């Protein structure tokens, strides 16, 4: 019972402030919020269910830049029930390419 659990994440999560202010959507325009993000994937929340195995395009807009990351939905669960928004879903996305999108954010002056 006293066995330590190692880190299972393949990529470090971004801790940048831009995540809080970024506008994000899954194409074709379903708004979502980014819970956390890394070079390999993202954890997102929204009001639309995300079917596992579905290919999506995560579109991220910050004040000085916009970019898209193609991904596959790995899992999706009901996160919460809200009087105002209804069902809130939380989905995990795995990016198709592990490119350094953080360069796109930092080169934009943000």
Are 90 and 35 in contact by the 8 Å Cβ rule? The answer is yes
| Mean pLDDT value of segment 46-73 | 92
Question: DSSP labels for the chain?
Answer: --PPPPP--SSPBP--THHHH-EEEETTTEEEEEEEEBSSEEEEEESS---TT-EEEEEEEETTEEEEEEEEEEEEEEEEEETTTEEEEEEEEEESS---THHHHHTTT-
Full-model pTM? 0.77
Domains of the chain: 18-98 (2.40.10.220)
Average pLDDT, the chain: 81
pLDDT tens, 8-55? Answer: 545 555 556 666 778 899 987 899 999 988 889 999 999 999 999 999
Are 32 and 25 in contact by the 8 Å Cβ rule? The answer is yes
CA–CA distance, 68 with 77 (Å, rounded to integer): 23
């Amino acid at each position: 019972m006293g066995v330590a659990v190692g880190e299972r994440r393949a990529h470090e999560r971004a801790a940048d402030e831009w995540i809080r202010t970024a506008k994000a959507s899954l194409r074709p325009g379903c708004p979502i919020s980014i819970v956390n993000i890394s070079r390999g994937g993202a954890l997102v929340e929204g009001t639309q269910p995300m079917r596992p195995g579905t290919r999506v395009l995560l579109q991220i807009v910050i004040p000085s830049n916009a970019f898209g990351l193609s991904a596959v939905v790995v899992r999706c669960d009901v996160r919460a029930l809200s009087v105002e928004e209804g069902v809130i879903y939380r989905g995990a996305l795995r990016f198709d390419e592990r490119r350094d999108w953080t360069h796109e954010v930092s080169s934009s002056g943000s």
